[in-house]
Amino acid sequence: TELAFRLGPQIPILGVCLGHQSIGQAFGATIVRAPYIMHGKTSEIYHDDQRIFLDLPNPFAATRYHSLVVERETLPNCFEVVAETDDGVIMGIRHRDFPVQGVQFHPESILTAVGKRLLGNFLNQN
């Protein structure tokens, strides 16, 4: 977690699942139990169509493997929620000043059909 905090101002970071949670925690958010366990299940992800989500369908189906989440109420103001499920679980965060982003879902999963495009967007923006 300290690495994300120290390198964030200089090196682009994309945290996936635990990496997403680590980014949140490094900057002061609390990690809590998810409302329900999601292991190998897909959800519709609603997003802001910016940066890593540029030109992706909205929503799109993504694979989730987690039982913990970043708590919305403790997410510091330096972050914005940029993706979530239809019931409000945070699925993506972005730092307002640093090239630091995180996603709770797994873009590398075969069940996340737009995962390659999302990762390509990350590589192309940095």
- pLDDT tens digits for range 50-81: 999 999 999 999 999 999 999 999 999 999 99
106 as an active site residue: the answer is yes
For the chain, give the percent of residues with pLDDT over 70: 92
What pLDDT does residue 10 have? 77
Q: Which of 17, 20, 47, 84 is catalytic?
A: 17
Give the pairing type, strands 100-103 and 31-47: unpaired
Q: Which of 20, 47, 95, 106 is catalytic?
A: 106
What pLDDT does residue 2 have? 62
DSSP letter at 91 equals E
What pLDDT does residue 14 have? 97
Q: How far apart are CA 107 and CA 117, in angstroms?
A: 9
**Which stretches of the chain score pLDDT less than 70?**
1-8, 126
Q: Are 44 and 58 in contact (CB under 8 A)?
A: no
Residue 35 CB neighbours (<10 A): 11
User: Cis ω on the peptide bond leading into residue 12 (within 30° of 0)?
Assistant: no
In CATH, the number for domain 2-125 is 3.40.50.880
DSSP codes of every residue in 26-88 = HTTPPEEEEEEEEEEEEEEEEE-SSGGGTT--SSEEEEEEEEEEE-GGGS-TTEEEEEE-TT-
108 as an active site residue: the answer is yes
Domain boundaries, the chain: 2-125
